[in-house]
Amino acid sequence: MPQKTLMLGNHAVARGLYESGVTVVSSYPGTPSTEITAAAAKYKGEIHAEWAPNEKVAAETAIGASIAGARAFTGMKHVGFNVAADPFFTASYTGVTGGLVAAIADDPGMHSSQNEQDSRNYAIAAKLPMLEPSDSRECLEFTKAAYALSEEYDVPVLLRLTTRISHSQGVVEEGERARRELPDYQKNAAKYVMMPGFAKLRRVEVLERERRLREYAETTPLNSEEDGCPEMGVITSGAAYQYAKEALGDKAGYLKLGLINPLPTELIRRFAAKYKKVYVIEELDPIIERHCKALGVGVIGKELFPEIGEFSQSLIAEKILGETVESRAFPEAVPSRPPVLCAGCSHRGVFYVLGKLGVMVNGDIGCYTLGATPPLSAMDTTVCMGASVSGLHGFNKGRAGGYESKAVAVIGDSTFMHSGITGLINIAYNQSNSLVIILDNTITGMTGHQNTPANGLDIYGEPAPAVNLEELVKSVGIKRVTVIDPYDLAETELVVKQELEVKEPSVIITRRPCALLKNYQKKPPVSVIPERCAGCKACMKIGCPAISVSGGKAAVNRTLCVGCGVCGQLCKFNAFAEGE
């Protein structure tokens, strides 16, 4: 009997990769997609898994592996596909040799993202088939189906996930790994060299493939119908299907779309004809709805349901059935519990100093984005990965040089490797006196500690060649590079002030490992000498979760404190004692 296990949707996708005989997995981390590749790395020896510097590199690696005949995979969060879109839009023309699948994990509700884009739009624009599972079991099955589809139709296939699917566990039955022979490599320039002469021919193939995929959409078992009461039909997919089933049960019939691009036409017409009212229940953009309306099928969609955020069973019950749930409330407001920089976080001192100096801070994405929150509040912008460096250059050009001694960029080490270096090349090449601060905590912190090209370890934790950040920065033409310890506030302030004043581009690297790393050298917790503490709260300005004030005096939480000593440097009364 096949073994039943509880699996995260992401782990089930990884299991699907294994069972499909995939041998190459290359990704860049991004919530909620990260666990797919982390779990694929557990099949070491059978799957080569890696963290690439960014999603474009990862995508091109997977495309290369597919051309080599291997089954290949890349996984990313929704905004990651913005970075990987360029290769995929043309890989749509070349098609594949070995099956090629990309998972794109959307984040309705923006649990951990900077925007809420709906990646189904990409499938339409790039003319790529897209599958959407609705639970862990389907994550495994649809991944396997995606490889079969990819090879049968000679096309890269997109697997759309959302936070609830990626991060929910459900019951899964594991199967065997498929045995696959690697075919001999055969050169085929007309298929793989996309210069205009060849691309024009492939463009015709793409449209013909779309036509065949549309036919497939009418009959594929990925789309399934459940009969129900003729009053109400529901067209849905993914997590929304589960919410609808829970809210409406057998009060409705369902057309659950597993293939969400291309969408079927006759199937939808036939389904809709059976019901008095037809609802389209989909999170984010009205994509299925627009398709239905274009077919002339009258459906109710976004006039009832929001385009923003996640759905739930209550939302559907309320909107369709007018039912609301009784609930009791706590009689008073409860203070929020926002995420904070951890005790001992190496980013804290830098943001304290930047706030104190009152400079304009071009921010970026990572744990350090929390430097924007009170009490540090030391960030002016955050757009997308890498935008701090290129944005600072633009800001400085835009202010015609007038802000060069008053503006900086901050960027994490992983983000710098992802897309900061190209912006720095622009600073050097097109000359702005910009000051870039690389926050090197030796790890990708935000997404849960993935190794980076600059930390000397690969995805398996094995030694790997490390990019030397100082040498890299110098090699693009930046002459001033200073490495400092961000736990030392005086040094940090001195160097930042000095580098703001120089009339040439400059890079400061603040170097201290993330305090959550296993091998982080904790020091004993500091303590407050009550007779010395004046209760001035200067130590509260760094927003350390280990420090609070009780009875008018500062107090240190001994389980949280890692002895970094930053708080003591703020105290004019020498009230902090190092622990022993």
Binders in 392-451 for ligand TPP, by CB under 6 A: 412-415, 441, 443-447
Which residue, 372 or 467, has its beta carbon nearer to another protein?
372
Q: Is 551 in the site for another protein (CB under 8 A)?
A: no
Q: Is 191 in the site for ligand TPP (CB under 6 A)?
A: no
368 binding partner (options ligand TPP, another protein, none; Cβ < 5 to 8 Å by kind): ligand TPP
Q: CA of 368: how far to CAs of 342, 420, 442, 495, in Å? A: 10, 15, 13, 20
Q: Is 12 in the site for another protein (CB under 8 A)?
A: no
Q: Is 155 in the site for ligand TPP (CB under 6 A)?
A: no
Question: How far is it, in rounded angstroms, from Cα 501 to Cα 512?
Answer: 25
Question: How far is it, in rounded angstroms, from Cα 272 to Cα 254?
Answer: 10
Tokens for 9, please give them: 């949707």
Is residue 185 classed exposed, middle or buried when 0-12, 13-18 and 19+ CB atoms within 10 A define those classes?
Answer: exposed
The residue type found at 465 is P
Which residue, 223 or 382, has its beta carbon nearer to ligand TPP?
382
Which residue, 446 or 469, has its beta carbon nearer to another protein?
446
Q: Is 169 in the site for another protein (CB under 8 A)?
A: yes
Q: Is 201 in the site for another protein (CB under 8 A)?
A: no
Beta-bridge mates of residue 438: 411, 509
Question: What is the widest separation between alpha-carbon atoms in the chain?
Answer: 82
How many degrees, rounded to 5, is the angle at CA 316 between CA 312 and CA 321? 150
111 binding partner (options another protein, ligand TPP, none; Cβ < 5 to 8 Å by kind): another protein
Beta-bridge mates of residue 387: none
Tokens for 194, please give them: 């996309």
Q: Is 478 in the site for ligand TPP (CB under 6 A)?
A: no
**E strand or H helix that includes residue 241:** helix 238-248
Axis-axis angle for helices 196-219, 78-94 (nearest 10): 110
Which residue, 513 or 545, has its beta carbon nearer to another protein?
545
> To the nearest whole angstrom, how small is the minimum distance from the Cβ of residue 347 to ligand TPP?
6
Binders in 530-549 for another protein, by CB under 8 A: 537, 540, 543, 545, 547-549
Name which position in 90, 314, 431, 482 contacts another protein (CB under 8 A): 314
Using CB positions, name the residue nearest to ligand TPP.
Answer: 412
Cα 23 → chain centroid:
23
**E strand or H helix that includes residue 521:** none
Name which position in 9, 16, 21, 29 contacts ligand TPP (CB under 6 A): 29
Q: Is 243 in the site for another protein (CB under 8 A)?
A: yes
Helix (H, G, I), strand (E, B) or coil at 321: helix
Q: Give every CB contact of residue 413 below 8 A, 6+ residues apart in sequence.
A: 438, 439, 440, 441, 442, 443, 452, 454, 455, 469
Which residue, 314 or 498, has its beta carbon nearer to another protein?
314
State the binding string over 363-382 for ligand TPP (x if CB under 6 A, else -): --xxxx--------------
Q: Is 559 in the site for another protein (CB under 8 A)?
A: yes
Choose among 388, 422, 426, 420: nearest CA to 407: 388
State the binding string over 375-414 for another protein (x if CB under 8 A, else -): x---------------------------------------
Question: Before 375, cis peptide (omega within 30)?
Answer: yes
Helix (H, G, I), strand (E, B) or coil at 130: strand
Name which position in 189, 195, 325, 400 contacts another protein (CB under 8 A): 325
Which residue, 44 or 111, has its beta carbon nearer to another protein?
111
Contact residues for ligand TPP, defined by CB under 6 A: 28-30, 55, 77, 79-80, 83, 365-368, 385, 412-415, 441, 443-447
Contact residues for another protein, defined by CB under 8 A: 4-6, 31-32, 111-112, 135, 163-164, 167-171, 239, 242-243, 245-247, 249, 310, 312-314, 317, 323, 325-332, 334-342, 367, 370, 374-375, 446-448, 537, 540, 543, 545, 547-549, 559
